[in-house]
């Protein structure tokens, strides 16, 4: 059986409920939270007096032999063989980017089918079980629960007894709040002893719960059926003073509504997911068969590391968690690489990413003339956490502790301008201005409307002016590849500033506003400067570093919009040179180290018109997924030689995988 992924997605709701199997066979070990914490989950088939397991590692039950695994857009499908039966099981997380209602419903499905030549044995059942550790973060805490009778099915639930709603979050931590649900024909919340007795006998003996660990258990006795897994976080996002529930719950819906609707509509939802998957596969096959696998590997992860909410003004907010890099929320330079997916299916989701940055940039505490990096620490939108001033004085008291622990304890967004909260040295001026201008123009061009750009045209103009002043030289500063450190004269940032100024012209055109010639001239000047740096035919990493290189992924929207500031002949020469530096699992990001970034490799693959070059750039990423020793969700920063992860797990940037499907999404820009 061929391995497809380093870790397989099972149930994905949002950044706080995300269950994966980092094993080739589903019975080889425990399931885990996206950050690696064990989250014991089990699946059983009772057959002729024997309990077999198809999910999780429990020696009290015999492991079924896994014969196949398949990945689709929203499902991970397994096949298991018993002595005289076969089990087909699919773990489905319906997260379609073109259906906000369904994608925000916090319910996942496990559907199964048993095939046998004879009759089902009298003791037959299929069951799922979840350990109480799904309810808390790093330390065990008392857990309470119960069962809801819902007509044709039952839903057992459990939660931390002291439910610390919106409690402080560190990076890579599961939540200490919210209710976990498991639903089937019959459901229980039972002690560990009762659970083990059930595994041994196939019979549930419910009794009084003592102070031992608990389990949710759902049992179906049908040959073909469905289980539901759900997570109700109760409150999802703090947004500059507003407490927001998930988008699905607007208008008063509850988790009971979500469970009932999901069970009642399950066949319709299965059909919708299948139709989306069929369309995606057809699109991907035009690129390559293995590209479909890459898209499937990216889709659920990218969607599930966001939270969709609606604020008190009725505005959509689509907020990312910067998983495994510092847990920032709504990070502009994490949104930027992810947008190909959302431009392809629903540009309003891109607007939902942009709104938070626009809103924070208007607050007095943000005193800079460039765009912010983020708007808080997930799930708190309470002010940028990146680049805080660590001065040791009474006005900055505690900010250093705040930075080191990634905890939200102070409402930075409320501070007056004279607080001087942020240090210039830790900012990304050219990067974030460019990101905001490019994403705004791209969302408009992909059908996202003009209202958001109209409302924030003053900020967009201010940021374009910043690029006019500083885009050419790019003094020593961070870019989105901040792990590589500060760099002066970054040519890739020049190309971003160039594209962003051209995008500002597009914004003006679509808003029917006059665009002064200086912006077009500025873009042309930046293009000329970047092209002149190519002393050996390839643009270097930085000005003055002749003979160096870096992946010039920032040319993607220059190409998509057809600005033609950098000719296709130059792009092809760049791509050809990158391929001379290729390692086993991709081209290193630049000459400074041997690591690469999967999102930028796919962006670069979308730049070339040569299919052989395209394939040579993206196919090593497929191999990386199949061969890396790092058994984690799709990591985007890894060693190009060994395939070992450097960092960055479960991040939204994998939406960049869809860059190869964007070529026909934009028309040529008017000059």
Q: 572: pLDDT confidence band, cut at 50, 70 and 90? A: very high
C-alpha–C-alpha distance, residues 292 and 289, integer Å: 6
Q: Which domain holds residue 66?
A: 8-274
Query: CB–CB of 343/302 below 8 Å?
Result: no
> Residue 621 has what pLDDT?
98
Same domain assignment for residues 327 and 206: no
Structure-block tokens of residue 391: 């001065």
* CATH number where 153 lies: 2.70.98
* Residue 611 to residue 618: CA distance in whole angstroms: 11
pLDDT at 500 over 50: yes
- Residue 134, C-beta contacts closer than 8 angstroms, at least 6 positions apart: 39, 41, 158, 174, 180
At which of 244, 274, 304 does a domain end?
Answer: 274
Q: Which of 166-180, 253-267, 281-295, 316-330 has the lowest mean pLDDT?
A: 166-180
User: What is the pLDDT, as a whole number, of residue 171?
Assistant: 86
Q: What are the backbone angles phi and psi of residue 577, rounded to the nearest 5°?
A: -70, -40
**CB–CB of 500/433 below 8 Å?**
yes
Rounded to an integer, the average pLDDT of 556-563 is 97
140 belongs to a structural domain: yes
pLDDT band at 398 (very low <50, low <70, confident <90, very high): low
Query: What values do phi and psi take at 289, rounded to 5?
Result: -60, -40
Pairing type for strands 237-239 and 62-63 reads unpaired
Cα separation, 160 vs 175, in Å, equals 10
Burial class (CB in 10 A: 0-12, 13-18, 19+), 515: middle
| 300 belongs to a structural domain | no
**Residue whose structure tokens are 């400074």:** 592
Q: CA-to-CA distance for 275 and 297, rounded, in angstroms?
A: 18
Q: Are residues 116 and 197 in the same domain?
A: yes
The pair of structure tokens assigned to 152 is 């044709």
Q: Is the pLDDT of residue 409 over 80?
A: no
Q: Does residue 517 lie in a domain region? A: yes
Query: What gap in Å lies between CA 225 and CA 113, rounded to an integer?
Result: 7
Q: Does residue 353 sit in the same domain as residue 266?
A: no
Question: Is residue 295 a part of any domain in this protein?
Answer: no
Q: How confident is the model at residue 46 (pLDDT cuts 50, 70, 90)?
A: very high
Q: Is residue 284 part of a domain?
A: no
What average pLDDT does this structure show over 385-400?
A: 70
Residue keyed to tokens 């990096």: 373
Q: What's the pLDDT at 301?
A: 98
Q: How far apart are CA 43 and CA 478, in angstroms?
A: 47
Q: At 568, is the secondary structure helix, strand, or coil?
A: helix
Determine the pLDDT at residue 63.
98
Residues 490 and 574 placed together within one structural domain of the fold: yes
* 575-585: average pLDDT: 98
Comparing 355-364, 376-385, 522-531, 550-559, the range with the smallest average pLDDT is 376-385
Q: Which two tokens stand for residue 211?
A: 């102070």
Q: Are the CB atoms for 348 and 448 separated by under 8 Å?
A: yes
Percent of the residues in the chain that have a pLDDT greater than 70, as a whole number: 96
Does pLDDT of 397 surpass 80?
no
The dihedrals phi and psi of 647, each to the nearest 5 degrees, come to 180, -175
Whole-angstrom distance between the N-terminal and C-terminal Cα of the chain? 53
Q: Are residues 608 and 467 in the same domain?
A: yes
User: Do both 340 and 451 map to the same domain?
Assistant: yes
Kindly report the average pLDDT of the chain as a whole number. Answer: 94
Exposed, middle or buried: residue 646 (CB in 10 Å: 0-12, 13-18, 19+)? middle
**Separation between Cα atoms, residue 207 and residue 392, nearest integer Å:** 58
Determine how many CB atoms are found less than 10 A away from the CB of residue 367.
13
Contacts of 549 (CB under 8 A, 6+ apart): 538, 539, 540, 541, 577, 578, 581, 590, 591
Question: How far apart are alpha carbons 160 and 11 in whole angstroms?
Answer: 20
The three-class DSSP label of residue 571 is: helix
Burial (CB count <10 Å: 0-12, 13-18, 19+), residue 285: exposed
Most confident by average pLDDT, 141-145, 280-284, 421-425: 280-284
Q: How far is the C-alpha of 609 from the C-alpha of 619, rounded, in Å?
A: 16
Give me the residues paired with residue 155 across strands.
148, 183
pLDDT the model gives residue 404? 45
DSSP secondary structure of 160-208 = ESS--TT----TT---S--EEEEEESEEEEEEHHHHHHHHHHS------
Considering the domain boundaries, does residue 308 fall inside one?
A: no
Q: Tell me the three state secondary structure of residue 13.
A: strand
What confidence score (pLDDT) does residue 173 get? 87
For 242, the 3-state DSSP assignment is strand
249 & 159 share domain: yes
DSSP class per residue in 378-421: TTEESS--TTB----STTSTTHHHHHHHT---S-GGGS-GGG--
Shared domain check, 329 and 267: no
Contact 639, 598 (CB under 8 A): no
Looking at the structure, do residues 419 and 538 belong to the same domain, yes or no? yes
Q: In terms of domains, do 62 and 191 share one?
A: yes
Instruction: Say if 298 falls within a structural domain.
Output: no
Q: Is the pLDDT of residue 618 over 70?
A: yes
Confidence class of residue 213 from pLDDT cuts 50, 70 and 90? confident
Q: Is residue 307 part of a domain?
A: no
Average pLDDT for residues 30-42, to the nearest whole number?
97
Q: How many domains does the chain have?
A: 2
Please indicate, yes or no, whether residues 408 and 513 belong to a single structural domain of this protein.
yes
What's 369's domain CATH number? 1.50.10.10
**Which residue reads 């109700």 in tokens?**
232
The two tokens of residue 317 are 């907010």
pLDDT band at 402 (very low <50, low <70, confident <90, very high): very low
Could you report the per-residue pLDDT of 142-196, keeping only the tens digit for each? 999 999 999 999 999 999 999 888 886 778 889 989 999 999 999 999 999 999 9
Six-digit token pair at 105?
């419903």
pLDDT of residue 396: 66
Last residue of a domain, one of 274, 307, 333: 274
Parallel/antiparallel/unpaired status of strands 595-597 and 65-71: unpaired
Name which of 326, 334, 323 is nearest 406 in CA terms: 326
The pTM score is 0.96
Mean pLDDT of 88-99: 98
- How far is Cα of residue 161 from the mean position of the Cα atoms in its chain? 30
Give tens-digit pLDDT for 57-69.
999 999 999 999 9
pLDDT exceeds 50 at position 401: no
């Amino acid at each position: 059986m061929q391995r497809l992924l380093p870790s397989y997605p099972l149930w994905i709701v949002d950044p706080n409920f995300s269950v994966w199997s980092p094993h080739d066979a589903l019975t080889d070990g425990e399931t885990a939270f996206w950050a690696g914490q064990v989250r014991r989950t089990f699946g059983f088939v009772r057959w002729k007096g024997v309990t077999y397991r198809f999910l999780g590692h429990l020696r009290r039950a015999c492991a079924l032999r896994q014969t196949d695994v398949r990945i689709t857009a929203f499902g991970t499908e397994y096949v298991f063989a018993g002595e005289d039966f076969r089990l087909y099981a699919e773990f489905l997380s319906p997260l379609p980017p073109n259906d906000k209602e369904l994608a925000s419903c916090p319910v996942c499905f496990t559907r199964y089918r048993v095939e046998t030549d004879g009759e089902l044995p009298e003791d037959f059942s299929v069951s799922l079980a979840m350990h109480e550790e799904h309810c808390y973060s790093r330390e065990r805490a008392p857990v309470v629960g119960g069962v809801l009778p819902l007509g044709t099915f039952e839903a057992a639930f459990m939660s931390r007894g002291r439910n610390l709603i919106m409690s402080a979050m560190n990076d890579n931590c599961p939540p200490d709040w919210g209710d976990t649900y498991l639903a089937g024909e019959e459901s229980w919340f039972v002690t560990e002893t009762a659970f083990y007795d059930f595994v041994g006998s196939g019979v549930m003996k419910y009794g009084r719960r003592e102070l031992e660990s608990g389990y949710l258990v759902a049992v179906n006795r049908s040959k073909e059926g469905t289980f539901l897994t759900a997570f109700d976080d109760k409150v999802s996002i703090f947004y500059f003073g507003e407490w927001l529930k998930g988008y699905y719950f607007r208008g008063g819906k509850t988790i009971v509504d979500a469970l009932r609707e999901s069970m009642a509509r399950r066949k319709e939802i299965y059909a919708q997911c299948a139709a989306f998957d069929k369309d995606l596969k057809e699109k991907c096959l035009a690129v390559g068969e293995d590209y479909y696998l890459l898209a499937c590997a990216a889709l659920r992860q990218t969607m599930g590391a966001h939270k969709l909410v609606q604020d008190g003004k009725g505005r959509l907010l689509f907020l990312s968690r910067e998983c495994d890099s510092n847990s920032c929320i709504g990070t502009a330079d994490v949104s930027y690489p992810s947008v190909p997916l959302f431009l392809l299916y629903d540009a309003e989701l891109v607007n939902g990413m942009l709104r938070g940055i626009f809103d924070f940039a208007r607050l007095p505490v943000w005193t800079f003339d460039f765009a912010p990096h983020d708007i808080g620490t997930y799930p708190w939108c309470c002010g940028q956490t990146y680049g805080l001033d660590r001065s040791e004085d009474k006005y900055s008291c505690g900010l250093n502790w705040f930075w080191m622990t990634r905890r939200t304890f102070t409402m930075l967004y409320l501070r007056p301008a004279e607080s001087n909260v942020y240090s210039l040295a830790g900012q990304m001026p050219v990067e974030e201005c460019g990101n905001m201008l490019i994403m705004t123009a791209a969302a408009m061009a992909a059908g996202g409307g003009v209202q958001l750009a109209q409302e924030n045209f003053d900020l967009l103009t201010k940021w374009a002016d910043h690029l006019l002043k500083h885009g050419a030289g790019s003094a020593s500063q961070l870019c989105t590849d901040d792990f590589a450190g500060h760099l002066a004269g970054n040519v890739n940032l020049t190309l971003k500033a160039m594209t962003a100024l051209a995008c500002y012209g597009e914004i003006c055109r679509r808003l029917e506003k006059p665009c002064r010639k200086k912006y077009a001239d500025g873009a042309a000047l930046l293009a000329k400067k970047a092209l002149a740096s190519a002393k050996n035919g390839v643009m270097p990493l930085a000005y003055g570093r002749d003979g160096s290189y870096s992946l010039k992924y920032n040319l993607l929207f220059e190409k998509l919009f057809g600005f033609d500031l950098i000719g296709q002949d130059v792009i092809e020469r760049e791509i050809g040179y990158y391929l001379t530096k290729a390692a086993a699992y991709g081209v290193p990001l630049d000459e400074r180290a041997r690591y690469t970034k999967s999102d930028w490799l796919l962006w670069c693959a979308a730049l070339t018109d040569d299919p052989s070059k395209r394939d040579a750039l993206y196919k090593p990423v497929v191999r990386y997924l199949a061969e890396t020793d790092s058994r984690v969700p799709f990591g985007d920063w890894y060693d190009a030689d060994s395939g070992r992860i450097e960092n960055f797990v479960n991040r939204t940037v994998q939406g960049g995988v869809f860059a190869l499907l964007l070529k026909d999404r934009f028309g040529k820009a008017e000059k």
